[in-house]
Structure 1
Amino acid sequence: MFNRFLVALVFSTISLISYSQEFSVSGKLIDRDSKLPLEAATVFVESVKDSSLITYTISDKFGVFELKGSTQASKVNLYISFVGYKPYEKLIAIEENRNLKLEAISLSEQIESLGDVVIQGRRAPISIKKDTLEFNVASFKTKKDANVEDLLKELPGVEVDEQGNITVNGKPVNKILVNGKPFFGNDPTIATRNLTKEIVDKIQVTDTKTDSEAFNNEAGDDQNKTINITIDEEKNKGIFGRVAAGGGTDERFEYAGLLNYFDNDLRISALSGGNNINSPGFSFGEIQKMFGNVNYMSISSNGTLNFGGRVFGGGEGITNSRTAGVNYADDIGEKVEISSDYFYSASNSYEDKIRNRENILPERRYFSNLVSNSNSNSDNHAININLKTKIDSTFLIEFKPKFNYTNGDSRYQSSEETLNMEEELTNSSSTNNQAIREGKNFKGDLSLNKRYGSNGGFVKLSIENELNDTDNDNFSQSETLIFGDTPQEILRDQFTDGNQQTNAIEINTNVRVPLLAKKLFMDVEYGFKNQDKDDAQLVYDLDQNLDTYSILNVDQSTDFTNVDRTSRPEIGITYDVDKVRIRLNTGYVFRTLKSDDALRAINFTNDFNAIEFSGNIRYKFSEKTSLYTGFGISNNVPGIRQLSPYIDVSDPLNIVQGNPDLKPAKSHYLYLNLNNYDFQTRTGMYTYININVDNDKVVSRSIIDPSFIRTTTYDNVDGYYQIYANTNYSKNIALDSLRTLNLDVGIGLNASRNVNFNNDVKYASRNFSYSPKLGFRFIWKELFEFRPNYELSYTSNNFDIDNFEDRNFVRHELRLRTITFYPKKLEWNNDIKYNINPDVAPGFETSSVFWNSSLAYSVLKDQGTITFKVYDLLNQNTNSQRTATQDYIQDMESTVLERYFMLGFSYKFNTLGKKGETRKSNFWFD
């Protein structure tokens, strides 16, 4: 089947490309006075007939450009724009020469800046301004009623997955801004899926920076990107929003509403939503979120696979979630900016589970069977404020307070039994737990930034304080039976009064001294952090005479006072010019961990001192190709629980004791990232390699006795490493003004060595995996979209211990996503996953098909939409899973979201600009 699919893909691609009529225009751009080449100028051509955009490109470091495109037009207009230079325009008759080579084109400097508008009504579709990549939204055609996410999918080098995660030229986007300000915290999909394209003027992409880094002109995070959505000034005043609701079979429902008021700098937004279809967060029921927690499903019909941390399983449990929030942003005068939001979220979840596990020890095996059910409820209130004050052009003060309040309750019941290889019962247990929790958190971050001189010097001071207070009340009844030569019966009826209070303060200072004006800098930094934590877990047994929980169980109770103090002086050198940025940094860490137990004489103080080093280099070969590399040595200190010699007997079948002699893990890392996107050929490629080597890695070390009671402590091991590499190639082919083909090919490689213990026997495992993928996306504008993908995953695990079996697993996933826009007002979405796993155990299905589908019909002049959608059309999500690791083989069944049908309606409203009408532009991008 897969061979036929690949052959069909190749022949379809060849036939589509051969059908298109192509042309090319090439030339070179130079400065009129200096005769030097002009890099990163935008060159584009429009149709003479209707001014529609045909194609565009960016000049390279030699000023050379080559436009390639397809058109039926006999004549086209050539436009060239470059920041700071006068625009260029030329009429070209391409019917006379479809491979036109122009002589060198000279551009003269623009004496008076025209700002962003180079040619009235003919803004370049894409421009590069220093480190900012800017897209002119009007140039990129999308479907009607498109949101920002639909727009992003059309931008060259930008990819958006089903969860709304965005990458630009292979780098993840970790921040979304609207007019330079945050929009509802850290969930980017609230902005990208709910703001419409029609109000957006520009999309700007930059390296992610904090406000302090931007103010001080520091280099940002070159491994992550920020997208700023710039609202059209003509449409930045008014009210817009959307409401939606749906109901379905099996009592499934969802609802959502978003209201926005924009008045230039003032922005007020409110949202509310809820559903019981395992779609946490906020959405209007898009098909992308219909998978809920099963986005990573592999085999969900009658079996799934989890190996070596790679999860191929369905979602568990049913969640009823609710959200509501308000966002406010404004500029107060010319010096003060404020943005804030309040967010409320709540959920109710339940799950039933059956688990049968075969546990593997070096000398024998045993079996454990578990039946459990759980219910939980939670409420969360969060307030975030960001206040920025510019005292003057050189002095910035920023204050970010955050408040969070949570409360909830949960109930958990379980029954478990353990059997030996002869299937004789060795122990059993049953539990019934009820818990109530409440938490309050405050975090305040104050930052002061002062620039001095004109060569890049600054002084920065940041102070962060966090206060946390958490109460936990837990009622627990349990019965544990241990059989064999020394049988035991352990009955517990207890109440645990838990309280955790944390007070942490962190102070960081940085003085940057220019050594060579705006090129070479020395950073002198000092960081101090102190965390005081009181952690009391007081366990009371039931006094049956008084029928109250009044007998303190000292063996199971703890009352720790913990101190974690870190001091770190460091010095760094930064060299930053146009194409090269090098940063080297070294520091010495003084860290103290201290723990006192008020209930027993178990106290310890551990001091950890170590040198750390880091460096990173960025080299820009051109505006389209960059190389990033980083390297360093870091230390990971064990947690206090891992160090504490306290013996935790809260679970009679799993006793845990820390090891105060643990050493910090030393991690050596190296990464390499090569990014290339050629705007001339619409070709992108990125390669990422990451290597980690750890010494003194902290791992758990367990001993299991003949009754299968586990005693666990911790130890240091050497010999861990991980090598990960990933490369991806993409190609965008404009077949004509209506049809586009996007190709995507990639492969991921992973090799690692782990050292662990199994029943106190030390062993090493070597893991190797690779996962090639192939896909394409064929778009016929306003008619349909066809997007098949194929991915193969191969995993191999080898062990240096005889009783562990080496294992190899292969998994295939074929996915097909389609959208049709015919008839005119109807949109039909399908998302189909076909999985094959030939390595599952007998009795489990080797394949499954998971199919979601939705129909949307526009009414009320396209302001209303009637939707009908089906989740798991073939009803194959039974969530019976098989999991295999080096320590056990496990079969599990749990509650899952099953097939449902849902009918819904949404309505949008818009008073921005001229009643929200899309401003007419002079061209579209194809």
Structure 2
Amino acid sequence: MKKLLFAFTLLFASSIFAQSYQFKITGVVASEKDKTPIEAATIHLEKAKDSTVVTYTISNNKGLFSLEGKTYHKNVKLFISYIGMDDYSKSIQLDKTPNLNLGTVLLKEKSNLLNEVVVKSRAPITIKKDTLEFNVKSFKTKKDATVEDLLKKLPGVEVDEDGKITVNGKEVNKILVNGKPFFGNDPSITTKNLTKEIIEKVQITDTKSKSEAFAGEKGDTNNKTINLTIKKENNKGWFGRVSGGIGTDERFEGAAMVNRFDNDQRFSVLASTNNINSPGFSFGEIRKMFGGGGNIWINGNGGFNVNGRSFGGGSGIIKSKTAGATYADEYGKGLDANTNYFYSGSSSNNESKSSREYTLPDRKYFSNSTTTSVDENHNHSIDTDFDIEIDSTFLININPSFVFNKREGSSRRQEESLDANNTLTNSFISSAYSESEANNFQNSLDITKKLGTKGSFIKASVTNRIDKADTESINKSTIEVFGSNPSTEIRDQKSATESNLMGLNTRFTYRFPLVAKKLFLDTKYTYLRNERENINNTFDFNTTTQQYSDFNTDLSSDFIYNDIAKIPSLELVYKTKKWNVNFETGFINRTLENNDKLRPELSLEKKYNNLNLDASFRYRFDSKASVYVNYYINNNAPSINQIQPFSNVTNPSNIITGNPNLKPTQNHRVYMNFNKYNWQARTGFWFYVSGTLYKDQIISNTTIGDDLVRNTTFENTDGGYDAWGGGNYSKRIKLDSLTSINLRVGAYLNANKNFNILNTIKEGARTTSLQPNIRATFNWNKLVSIETRYDISFSNTKYDINKNQNQNFTRHLVNIRTRTNVPKKLEWRNDVRYTYNPNVIGFNKSAWFWNATLAYSVFKDQGTISLKAYDLLNQNNNVRRTASANYIEDSESTVLQQYFMLGFSWKFNSLGKKGSIKEYDFHF
């Protein structure tokens, strides 16, 4: 029976492949008017039956093109298109002419350029100067695909497992809808919630502010912006989704989003809550909504962040709540308005522990610590963006924003130090409780006036910022020192801290054209002023009065710190179709002032004069490849805690004192990237490399006594550096019209050298890490997708003096993601990860992590029932090993454990023809 089944399968496969048609179509595209070759014309092949795109390419700088592949359809149609030219089309029968040389195809200038009729391009891809435009209809995706699913299909565009989007290696930091922000500039809300069916075009450009785009400036060449244009007939109506789930271990999640689009007017609301460490962005079915990954990091001082948006308090197990609304509209001809409100709240519980091995010039010692914390955080943010276009030469941008934050938290920390013989030397126990409120207001004003027709303009920008924070805290601690001279210090204190910041950033620019629209001279003047006030009143507990009434001068402060910078500069700008060259140099006059009211003897004033330099060039070889190089020098001033000669004894086992003689750190940085994408072969290659050399780098200078109590100050040093780079090569292998394999091989490299001074001996540590990776994705007929990835990280740390402490670390990561839609209404997703840390000491070295989701479509695909399993193998951990110039640390903290969850999701969509809005009643 098995042999018969195998023979039948082989015969069936042979018959399938026998029906496919190989083809190769070549030619040259040129202008009929002057017979010059046309670069970046789009050539694509469609099925004659249903106009489905079979394959496509673009012409090179000599007008040459070649289409190769195979398809099951013998009747196809060839199209050649270019902006401003009439399309060329030709019907082809592949069974009769599998190899076709069209010779030179001459395109005529469009005859209807001045007519009212506009012919929409059917080309899958169009190149318009610095904009790459994709026709959404040309790219197949699964049913109910999101924008993120669509982006994964576009050549040169990559979306990693965390939702980070890159285009030829350059990160996408802004996504617009019809040219306007959607819930601010958070890309994940847009890509994970909006569906492909409402999108007509995807446009990719270099990131620019509205003022830069209006003035014709280059913008940010290292980041990309994606603009999604919505079909006109789909730009009126309602759409959205509601989801919820209940799971084991009292886990839950719920989220909803409702959108109303009416041409230029747009309104959306969202809300969510869960206790699965997901700020409204969760794994599985709800991931199709406005979240599910993104660039997420969790810090240890009461906050986590998704794609730059803060979601409040705590590490460990987090219960979060979010709510938001966005409104955009055009008022009259010249006023655009966009307003966003977002609330995020969270409560968290966390326990972390770490073990460190310190290496001193004459001995070793060890420390172990355990910290438990509970945090509650509430954050409200409002931002508004007004664009006022007075006329075609005069633009005003106003962007006010306000943030209010309230936080309450408590923590307990136990720390012990042991000598080389593991004998306890000292111990530190502390408990703390704090309440804080913070307000932030910021407003940016940009005024741009274009002068004449040669590219000249005047631009002025002003940004002011006001921060105010108030904190009340109670700290109790005990430090015990053992050995020949034992001691015990007990603290019980209450503090009230007030922190205020007044910031002002102004810039004036005048651009003068030396050669019209090509060569410019920019004169600039920048003025920066940040005034920070800090008042901290600390009182010891009085055992007689039973009140916090004894003022503690050592732990109190009252000062105003000013950082003032004046920067005149000149910039030379040259830009053509292939070249973009910028050279800017400026002189920075910086003043640092500290007015200490509690300790007048610590008041200081420092003045510094430094040179700033920023030079870059970008060259486009053709429509497929470009190179970018940048070199700059900038200066970073020391922070107040580094420069103020005040001893911070908050932690009596680690006393920190500033150094008033510190100089600003000067950074010399070089950056280069190169990318190339072959549209015909579906192969892409990009790499980047960068390095920074530090002059007067600020490092720590620590003295550790026999009791292992640390006294730290700061010094300047030379010789530190950072270097990093990476790249990958990707290739798409199309087996047939239904099946494809995407391969990607890449590597990332990082090297740095840091210094510190320990007991008067300066130690340097050079760390080099290399992370090669390989990824393969198999797709079949939108029904099956299998993605595999393997990463291996090598890290090597070498010391200048303590060479016997050199370290080598290795980490392995295997990731397998699968999606099947068989039958079509049932979707089964798996995410399996395996990590192996062979060098970790004291914690689990390896772990498997497996998430799975089953989702079944009901109610004509409007509803989905899902079953989610998180950490099926119950092995999730976050063990880490880090190394510095004088210690190695292994750490671990609380992570979310295994749970199962049953959920339901319902979507609705009443987007209709232009000019009509279908009314819809909602009952949630």
- TM-score category by the smaller chain? over 0.9
> 1:179: how far off?
0.9
Could you say which residue in structure 2 is the equivalent of 1:766? Answer: 766
Q: Conserved in 1, the CA contact under 8 Å of 2:384 and 2:399?
A: yes
Cα distance per residue 1:136-174 (max 9 Å; x no partner): 111111111111111111111111112221111111000
- Specify the SS of the correspondent of 2:645: coil
Could you say which residue in structure 1 is the equivalent of 2:738? Answer: 738
> 1:478: how far off?
1.3
Kindly provide the amino acid, as one letter, of the partner of residue 539 in structure 2: Y
Could you say which residue in structure 1 is the equivalent of 2:13? Answer: none
Could you say which residue in structure 2 is the equivalent of 1:711? Answer: 711
Q: Conserved in 2, the CA contact under 8 Å of 1:378 and 1:408?
A: yes
Kindly provide the amino acid, as one letter, of the partner of residue 393 in structure 1: S
Could you say which residue in structure 1 is the equivalent of 2:694? Answer: 694
Q: Conserved in 1, the CA contact under 8 Å of 2:755 and 2:885?
A: no
- Specify the SS of the correspondent of 2:61: coil
Could you say which residue in structure 2 is the equivalent of 1:652? Answer: 652
Q: Conserved in 2, the CA contact under 8 Å of 1:455 and 1:517?
A: yes
Q: How far, CA to CA, are the matches of 1:293 and 1:893 in structure 2? A: 23
- Residue 759 to residue 821, structure 1, CA distance change in 2 (3 Å): farther
Kindly provide the amino acid, as one letter, of the partner of residue 99 in structure 1: N
- Residue 165 to residue 880, structure 1, CA distance change in 2 (3 Å): closer
- Residue 17 to residue 526, structure 1, CA distance change in 2 (3 Å): farther
Bigger shift: residues 509-518 or 275-284: 275-284
> 1:760: how far off?
3.2
Bigger shift: residues 612-621 or 801-810: 801-810
Could you say which residue in structure 2 is the equivalent of 1:279? Answer: 278
Could you say which residue in structure 2 is the equivalent of 1:85? Answer: 85
Kindly provide the amino acid, as one letter, of the partner of residue 280 in structure 1: P
Q: Conserved in 2, the CA contact under 8 Å of 1:282 and 1:323?
A: no
Q: Conserved in 1, the CA contact under 8 Å of 2:315 and 2:348?
A: no
Could you say which residue in structure 2 is the equivalent of 1:448? Answer: 447
- Aligned pairs for 1:312-351 (under 5 A) are 317-351=316-350
Could you say which residue in structure 2 is the equivalent of 1:379? Answer: 378
Q: How far, CA to CA, are the matches of 2:175 and 2:459 in structure 1? A: 25
- Aligned pairs for 1:664-813 (under 5 A) are 664-802=664-802, 804-813=804-813
> 1:533: how far off?
1.5
> 1:118: how far off?
7.4
Cα distance per residue 1:105-140 (max 9 Å; x no partner): 0011013228999756x6111101111111111111
Bigger shift: residues 587-596 or 75-84: 75-84
Q: How far, CA to CA, are the matches of 2:882 and 2:402 in structure 1? A: 40
- Residue 889 to residue 113, structure 1, CA distance change in 2 (3 Å): same
Could you say which residue in structure 1 is the equivalent of 2:204? Answer: 205
RMSD over aligned Cα, in angstroms? 2.3
Could you say which residue in structure 1 is the equivalent of 2:178? Answer: 179
Cα distance per residue 1:636-669 (max 9 Å; x no partner): 2211221111111111111111111111212111
- Residue 677 to residue 357, structure 1, CA distance change in 2 (3 Å): same
TM-score (norm 1): 0.92
Cα distance per residue 1:818-839 (max 9 Å; x no partner): 1111012001111111223333
> 1:803: how far off?
6.1
Q: How far, CA to CA, are the matches of 1:763 and 1:494 in structure 2? A: 37
In the alignment, is residue 54 of structure 1 matched against residue 46 of structure 2? no
> 1:33: how far off?
1.3
Could you say which residue in structure 2 is the equivalent of 1:222? Answer: 221
- Residue 626 to residue 803, structure 1, CA distance change in 2 (3 Å): closer
Could you say which residue in structure 2 is the equivalent of 1:98? Answer: 98
Q: Conserved in 1, the CA contact under 8 Å of 2:779 and 2:786?
A: yes
Q: How far, CA to CA, are the matches of 1:22 and 1:858 in structure 2? A: 38
- Specify the SS of the correspondent of 2:155: coil
Could you say which residue in structure 1 is the equivalent of 2:567? Answer: 568
Could you say which residue in structure 1 is the equivalent of 2:389? Answer: 390
Kindly provide the amino acid, as one letter, of the partner of residue 737 in structure 1: S
Q: Conserved in 2, the CA contact under 8 Å of 1:568 and 1:590?
A: yes
Q: Conserved in 2, the CA contact under 8 Å of 1:593 and 1:606?
A: yes
TM-score (norm 2): 0.92
Q: How far, CA to CA, are the matches of 1:322 and 1:501 in structure 2? A: 28
> 1:286: how far off?
4.8
Kindly provide the amino acid, as one letter, of the partner of residue 811 in structure 2: R
Bigger shift: residues 661-670 or 579-588: 661-670
Q: Conserved in 1, the CA contact under 8 Å of 2:161 and 2:293?
A: no
In the alignment, is residue 464 of structure 1 matched against residue 468 of structure 2? no
Q: How far, CA to CA, are the matches of 1:117 and 1:230 in structure 2? A: 20
- Aligned pairs for 1:803-842 (under 5 A) are 804-841=804-841
Q: Conserved in 1, the CA contact under 8 Å of 2:255 and 2:270?
A: yes
Cα distance per residue 1:344-369 (max 9 Å; x no partner): 00010111233333322221122223
Kindly provide the amino acid, as one letter, of the partner of residue 273 in structure 1: S
Unaligned runs of 5+ in 2: 1-15, 299-313, 917-924
Q: How far, CA to CA, are the matches of 1:418 and 1:207 in structure 2? A: 52
Percent pairwise identity? 46
Could you say which residue in structure 2 is the equivalent of 1:546? Answer: 545
Q: How far, CA to CA, are the matches of 2:135 and 2:24 in structure 1? A: 23
Unaligned runs of 5+ in 1: 1-15, 298-314, 918-926
- Aligned pairs for 1:829-908 (under 5 A) are 829-841=829-841, 845-879=844-878, 883-908=882-907
Q: Conserved in 2, the CA contact under 8 Å of 1:287 and 1:829?
A: no
- Specify the SS of the correspondent of 1:193: helix
> 1:795: how far off?
1.5
- Residue 916 to residue 389, structure 1, CA distance change in 2 (3 Å): closer
Could you say which residue in structure 2 is the equivalent of 1:662? Answer: 662
Could you say which residue in structure 1 is the equivalent of 2:367? Answer: 368
- Aligned pairs for 1:596-675 (under 5 A) are 596-600=595-599, 601-675=601-675
> 1:782: how far off?
2.9
- Aligned pairs for 1:483-562 (under 5 A) are 483-562=482-561
Could you say which residue in structure 2 is the equivalent of 1:109? Answer: 109
Q: Conserved in 2, the CA contact under 8 Å of 1:117 and 1:123?
A: no
Could you say which residue in structure 1 is the equivalent of 2:66? Answer: 66
- Residue 466 to residue 846, structure 1, CA distance change in 2 (3 Å): closer
Kindly provide the amino acid, as one letter, of the partner of residue 64 in structure 2: V
Could you say which residue in structure 1 is the equivalent of 2:5? Answer: none
Bigger shift: residues 683-692 or 324-333: 683-692
Q: Conserved in 2, the CA contact under 8 Å of 1:884 and 1:890?
A: yes
Could you say which residue in structure 2 is the equivalent of 1:43? Answer: 43
> 1:39: how far off?
0.9
Cα distance per residue 1:270-315 (max 9 Å; x no partner): 0001111111254575587999799899xxxxxxxxxxxxxxxxx9
Cα distance per residue 1:504-554 (max 9 Å; x no partner): 111100000011000000000000011111111111112233222222111
Q: How far, CA to CA, are the matches of 2:57 and 2:882 in structure 1? A: 50
> 1:890: how far off?
3.6
- Residue 522 to residue 220, structure 1, CA distance change in 2 (3 Å): same
Q: Conserved in 2, the CA contact under 8 Å of 1:287 and 1:852?
A: no
- Specify the SS of the correspondent of 1:234: helix
- Specify the SS of the correspondent of 1:102: strand
- Specify the SS of the correspondent of 1:632: strand
Could you say which residue in structure 2 is the equivalent of 1:423? Answer: 422
Q: Conserved in 2, the CA contact under 8 Å of 1:531 and 1:564?
A: yes
Q: Conserved in 2, the CA contact under 8 Å of 1:730 and 1:743?
A: yes
Kindly provide the amino acid, as one letter, of the partner of residue 691 in structure 1: G
Q: How many residue pairs align between the two structures?
A: 883
Q: How far, CA to CA, are the matches of 1:253 and 1:158 in structure 2? A: 34
Cα distance per residue 1:395-430 (max 9 Å; x no partner): 001111001100010001122222222333322221
Could you say which residue in structure 2 is the equivalent of 1:13? Answer: none
Q: Conserved in 2, the CA contact under 8 Å of 1:94 and 1:100?
A: no
Could you say which residue in structure 2 is the equivalent of 1:476? Answer: 475
Kindly provide the amino acid, as one letter, of the partner of residue 153 in structure 1: K
> 1:692: how far off?
1.4
- Residue 422 to residue 285, structure 1, CA distance change in 2 (3 Å): same
Q: How far, CA to CA, are the matches of 1:292 and 1:37 in structure 2? A: 45
- Residue 18 to residue 114, structure 1, CA distance change in 2 (3 Å): farther
- Residue 286 to residue 160, structure 1, CA distance change in 2 (3 Å): farther
Bigger shift: residues 127-136 or 583-592: 127-136
Q: Conserved in 1, the CA contact under 8 Å of 2:729 and 2:745?
A: yes
Cα distance per residue 1:808-856 (max 9 Å; x no partner): 2222222111111101200111111122333334x65543221111111
Q: How far, CA to CA, are the matches of 1:21 and 1:436 in structure 2? A: 72
RCO higher in 1 or 2 (8 Å CA, sep ≥ 6)?
1
